[in-house]
Each structure stands twice: as C-alpha cells, then as structure tokens.
Structure 1
Amino acid sequence: MARTELAPFDVTHAATVAGWPATSGEVAMWCGRHDFPLAARVVARWQAADDVRAHALLRDGELVAYGELWFDAEEDEVELARLIVSPAVRARGIGRELVRRLTAAARDAGHEDVFMRVHPQNEPALRCYRHASFLPVDPHLAAAWNAAQPVDYVWLRHCAAAGTP
C-alpha cells in the first residue's frame, strides 16, 4: 500500500509544479495567471508571503500534488488555494486526499472556517471538492467575494457534518 504524507513544500520542486499545467487555460484555472508556460520562479515566490503555507503531497516520497493554505487572521479563517495534482496521477483520488489533508492542517491550526474558490469551468476540481465535503457558500456571500475578482469563482466552504474532516 502506498504511503502518503503532507509535507512543507520544498521550493526546489517549483519547476516540477509549474510544469504540470499543459495549457494556458489550465494555468488560468489553477492560479489565475495568464502566462504559459508558468515560470518556476513564480511558484517559488508564492511561499514568501507570511500568511501562506505551501504543502506537497508525497506518495512513497514522490511529489504528486501541491496546495497552499492562506491564513486570514483578521477573519479567523483559512482558504485552500492553488491546488494541483500531477497529470500522471489525476483521477485517482489524489486531489481528494490533498484536500482532506490540507483541511485537517487548517483545523489543526485552530481554524474551523475553511474555504476555497474554484474557477467555474473547472468541473473535475468542483467534483473533487464536493466529494471532500465542500459545499457552495450563500450566493449573496459569493457575489460579494467575487466583486473584486477577475472571474465569478465558485466559493466553497468545508462542512464537517457532510463527511470527511
């Protein structure tokens, strides 16, 4: 059985993660940028923000997914962000495992409110997150949050009562 662990992201793997999107459309849906291919330095710089904790999901020591926790101390909440799975292992439950572990890390850090935003055309991600107990927020709240966004994201909130932690 494969051993899976969530670990702090090592920026030496930034080029690998930056290379996972195969098109400019995938880059836009993943991180909202429009440069393709995405430069490794961009991924490496994401770690610099004080309120961002980047993580790698490793399976038997191999990097298979990447995701970030964005901490908002003022609102006492966490947003899961920039989640991506290696193309070599997509559609095998890795995304759901990444979401489950990142959500647990957010809760372990003392945050009950865990959110994420998803590009509305990213159907595989939306299915994954719904299976990981993330449900849409109130439409009025989503509209308010989208007011300053470049696209009308689907905003989701983790609902522990719906299933996984």
Structure 2
Amino acid sequence: MDLLPFAAAHASLVAGWPTHADEVVRWCGRREFPATARMVADWQGDDDVRAHVLVEDGNVVGYGEVWLDDEEDEAELARIIVAPGARGRGVGRVLVRELLGRALAAGFRDVFLRVHPDNEAALTCYRGAGFVTVDADLAASWNAAQPVDYVWLRNRTALSSR
C-alpha cells in the first residue's frame, strides 16, 4: 500500500464512504449527511493540513490528514476513514502508521489523535498502531472547548523518547 497526497479528484470518492449520519459525526464532527465532495475539498484550504490517500492495487482505500502545529511543536492525525469495502482487514492501522510516519518525518515527536468516544473500531485501530490514552487531566483540558469529550491518544514514540 502507498500513501499519496490527496488530490481534488479524490473528494467525491472519500465523501461517499460514510454510510450513515452517525458515521459522518464520528469521522469529522459534521452533522451533514451525506458528506459532500465540496466539504472534503474545502478541508484542503488550510496550509497546516496535509491530506493523504492510501492506495492499494490502484484503488483508494483510505483517507487521513496530518495537522501540523509548529507553534505547539506537535501534530494531530485527523479525519481518518477507510473505504467500506476495505474495513476489518488492517487497512486503518496501515493508514495510521503511514500518517504517523509523515508527522515524525516532518520533525514532530508529539503526535496526537482525538476519537469520538463511541467509535470503538477507531480506538482499537489507533491503539493497535501504537497510540495510548493521554492523561485524564490533559484530555479534560483539551475537551473543554470541544463539542464532545473526545478520547485523546498520543503516539508511543513520543513517550519513549522523553
């Protein structure tokens, strides 16, 4: 599998992957269903967002973003989703590890994820990719400005290099 830069031509495909409204909320926090290509394409307008697609045998099977925060010297992996037909076979874990590799290669040692609290499949995937839950006090402070109490995870690489 190869992690490639996102292109505008991928927006319609990726927007069609959420199968119901709750999945859109868990994926990106938005309430619109179905998701639209315009919504996905508009995310690319932020200079700090690096969007990627995971390609297997010529097919796009995953999408995710690396949000770079130079001011805080950290990165966040975000809006991660796997194509419905590719779920349940480790594609998400490969995608997360590849995105993490991009964040680390950019010089960020602290890499975080936030997960909707009822997204058990994502939590299992991220933990399997080497992420661990952050301290409860830190999560509470980050959730103070959020619409839900996300589960916040940090990559183990950052913890072991301290």
Tell me which interval the TM-score lies in, with the shorter structure as reference length: over 0.9
1:25 equivalent among 22, 30, 39: 22
TM norm structure 1: 0.95
- Which residue identity does 1:81 align to in structure 2? A
Q: What count of residue pairs does the alignment treat as equivalent?
A: 160
Quick one: which of 50, 55, 78 aligns to 2:52? 55
Give matches, 1:59-78, under 5 Å.
59-78=56-75
Provide TM-score, normalisation by structure 2.
0.96
In 1, Cα distance between equivalents of 2:159 and 2:125: 14
CA contact (8 A) 2:139 2:151 kept: yes
Q: Quote how far apart the aligned CAs of 1:38 are.
A: 0.9
Check conservation: 2:64, 2:77, Cα contact below 8 A.
yes
SS of the residue aligned with 2:114? strand
Quick one: distance in 2 between partners of 1:79 and 1:161? 13
What residue ranges of structure 1 are gaps of 5+ in the alignment?
none
Give runs of aligned pairs for residues 1-165 of structure 1, distance below 5 A: 4-160=1-157
TM-superposition CA deviations, 1:80-100 (whole Å, max 9, x none): 000000000100000000000
- In the alignment, the residues of structure 2 paired with residue 22 and residue 107 of structure 1 have an alpha-carbon distance, to the nearest angstrom, of 32
The answer to whether the Cα contact below 8 Å between 1:27 and 1:35 also exists between their aligned partners in 2 is yes
Kindly tell me: are residues 149 and 9 of structure 1, through their superposed partners in 2, closer, same or farther at Cα, counting changes over 3 Å?
same
CA contact (8 A) 1:133 1:162 kept: no
Identical counterparts, % of pairs: 61
Deviation at 1:162, TM superposition (A): 8.7
Report deviation, 1:12: 0.8
* CA distances 1:42-89 after superposition (whole Å, capped 9, x unpaired): 000101100000000000221000000000111010000000000001
Gaps of at least 5 residues in structure 2 are none
Deviates more, 1:153-162 or 1:102-111: 153-162
Distance 2:91 2:35 in 1: 22
Runs of 4+ in 1 over 6 A off after TM superposition: none
